Homo-oligomer: A and B are copies of this chain.
Amino acid sequence: MLVLNGSPLSTCTGRVLTCFFQMGLQLDKDFKLAPLGDFADIYKPEWLANQPFGQMPFLIDEEEQYVIFESRAIIKYVAAKIGSPLLPKQSDLKAYGIFEQACSIEHCNFDEPAHSIAAELYFAKFHGREGDVALADKNKALLAKRLKVYDQILSKQKYIAGDDLTLVDLFHLTYGNLNVTIGGAPALTDAEGHPNLARWWKEVTSLPGWVKYQELLPKN
């Protein structure tokens, strides 16, 4: 059994859950979720023994007696294990290259400003501090500039890594959705100004994996 340790409320655990569902894995059949009682648990020695940076989630593959952390790595590992077509094969050189290119774009050009905005405008309050609005504004401007390039890329191909849906499209969902909610990334739903981006965003947020993950969240 694969055991995912984390909270569905965390964006990184959500990234894994969305991809697991989209790859056709079923909760309690193909994998189990070991939810956190308290977010502070990630600083306890039992947690740190598996995830030394004190972050979530991590995965235990009981069959292989193997522990792996970092959400994108967990997803790639499981995709390789089950042979999911959402992970391009290294032997398909061009597809592998463009997929890894898209993974880096997601990480550097999207996730960095997107999670920084979320840290200031959303998560700060849970840490009992005021969010830094000026910093959020700086990152909003940066993200806006980069989403213009996404729109351009998506005018020439259907998905971020070419004409086929891959895992990297899904990697954007949790932080993208949070930013839509808090006004961090208006471009994602701006069908007039960013038609290709908005078309892609509408499609990826309609995918079964994302819908199924949403069902795990509290209703308000």
Interface residues, chain A, with chain B CB atoms under 8 Å away: 52-53, 64, 66, 68-74, 76-77, 80-81, 87, 89-91, 93-94, 96-98, 100-101, 103-105, 107-109, 112, 146, 149, 152-153
The number of times this chain is found in the oligomer is 2
Given that A52-B149, A146-B53 are known contacts, is A66 also in contact with B97, CB under 8 Å in the complex?
Answer: yes
Q: Which of B66, B80, B101 contacts A68 (CB 8 A)?
A: B101
Q: Given A53-B149, A73-B101, A77-B101, 17 more contacts at CB 8 Å?
A: A52-B149, A52-B153, A53-B105, A53-B109, A53-B146, A64-B94, A66-B97, A73-B103, A73-B104, A74-B97, A77-B100, A80-B90, A80-B93, A87-B90, A89-B90, A90-B90, A107-B108
Q: How far is the CB of A67 from chain B (nearest CB, A)?
A: 10
Note all chain B residues with C-beta closer than 8 A to A64: 93-94
Q: How would you classify the secondary structure of chain A's contact residues: helix, strand, loop or mixed?
A: helix
Given that A52-B149, A109-B53, A149-B52 are known contacts, is A94 also in contact with B66, CB under 8 Å in the complex?
Answer: yes
The answer on a CB contact under 8 Å between A76 and B53 is no
CA distance A52 to B104 in the complex (A): 14
The answer on a CB contact under 8 Å between B97 and A68 is yes
CB-nearest residue of chain B to A65 = B94
CB-nearest residue of chain B to A81 = B93
Q: Which of B68, B71, B108 contacts A98 (CB 8 A)?
A: B68
Nearest 7 CB-CB pairings of A with B: A77-B97, A70-B104, A73-B100, A73-B101, A80-B90, A70-B101, A76-B100
CA distance A103 to B74 in the complex (A): 12
The answer on a CB contact under 8 Å between A70 and B112 is no
